[in-house]
A and B are shown apart, each in its own frame.
Chain A
């Protein structure tokens, strides 16, 4: 299925629940969603991967771009709900050194 994004907020964090595959088709959708949040001043963004079961280099690129965008605005980007298969790909690309891939919703729900 094409990537869908459901949005919610909690305190200063914006949660973007991603649903579907994060690939060449999904990456621009995520990129645009993050750009829109940042343009509205929402610079602390949590991407929920609980319903994402496929990611490739295009998807990884969109996350890297998102991180660059929020950090250049003094914000940050967090990932939660990354499943075992996706973690394997993050580690392969050494992106586990940039992102905490073990965080859960509880990490941010205080």
Chain B
């Protein structure tokens, strides 16, 4: 099955789980995508949407977020779009080494590396009008 859906999401944390479920259900209609790959998909979508919600909450922007999913024969592509003020990917600092005591001071900062590792393609476009995260999960 191929297809496309677009979700318009309020800036609320309790919608993240719902979006994971919807995107995962769409992916499950493609028998080429394994359960493990769908788990990867749910994770990267959660990370992207979490970042989008945080960015808009930080700037008190209540405009809805957009999640676009495109299912092809061999992959699923997801695009998460926010309306916040953007960020510079290159300015994101690496976390301290895991064995370092200082590592425990950092509760955030894993999302981007998870998205990079778990997706087969990750593109981030960010500017003053918002950020678009495009992720691809292949079968």
CB <8 Å contact, B104 and A71: yes
Q: How many A residues are at the interface, by size bracket?
A: 20 to 34
**Interface of chain A: mostly helix, strand, loop or mixed:** helix
Q: How many contacts A-B (CB < 8 Å)?
A: 67
29 A-B contacts, Cβ less than 8 Å apart?
A23-B17, A24-B13, A24-B16, A24-B50, A25-B14, A25-B16, A54-B20, A54-B42, A54-B46, A56-B50, A57-B50, A57-B108, A57-B114, A60-B110, A61-B108, A62-B107, A64-B104, A64-B107, A65-B107, A71-B104, A85-B36, A89-B43, A92-B113, A92-B114, A93-B113, A93-B114, A97-B99, A98-B98, A98-B104
B111 lies within 8 A of chain A by Cβ: yes
A89 proximity list for chain B (CB < 8 A)? 43, 114
Q: Would you call A32 an interface residue if the criterion is a C-beta within 8 Å of the partner chain's C-beta atoms?
A: no
In the complex, per-residue mask of A45-76: 1 if CB is within 8 Å of any chain B CB, else 0? 00000000010111011101101100100000
Total interface residues on B, CB under 8 Å, equals: 28
Q: How far is the CB of B118 from chain A (nearest CB, A)?
A: 8
**Is B117 on the interface with A (CB-CB < 8 A)?**
yes
Q: Mark B41-77, 1 if CB is under 8 A from A, else 0.
A: 0110011001001000000000000000000000000
Query: B113-139 toward A: CB 8 Å interface, digit per residue (1/0)?
Result: 110011000000000000000000000
Q: Does A11 lie at the interface of the complex (its beta carbon under 8 Å from any beta carbon of B)?
A: no
Residues of A bordering B, CB below 8 Å: 1-2, 21, 23-25, 54, 56-58, 60-62, 64-65, 67-68, 71, 85, 89, 92-95, 97-98
Chain B residues near A98 (CB-CB < 8 A): 98, 103-104
Residues of A within 8 A of B114 (CB): 56-57, 89, 92-93
Tell me the smallest distance from the CB of A99 to a CB of chain B, in Å. 10
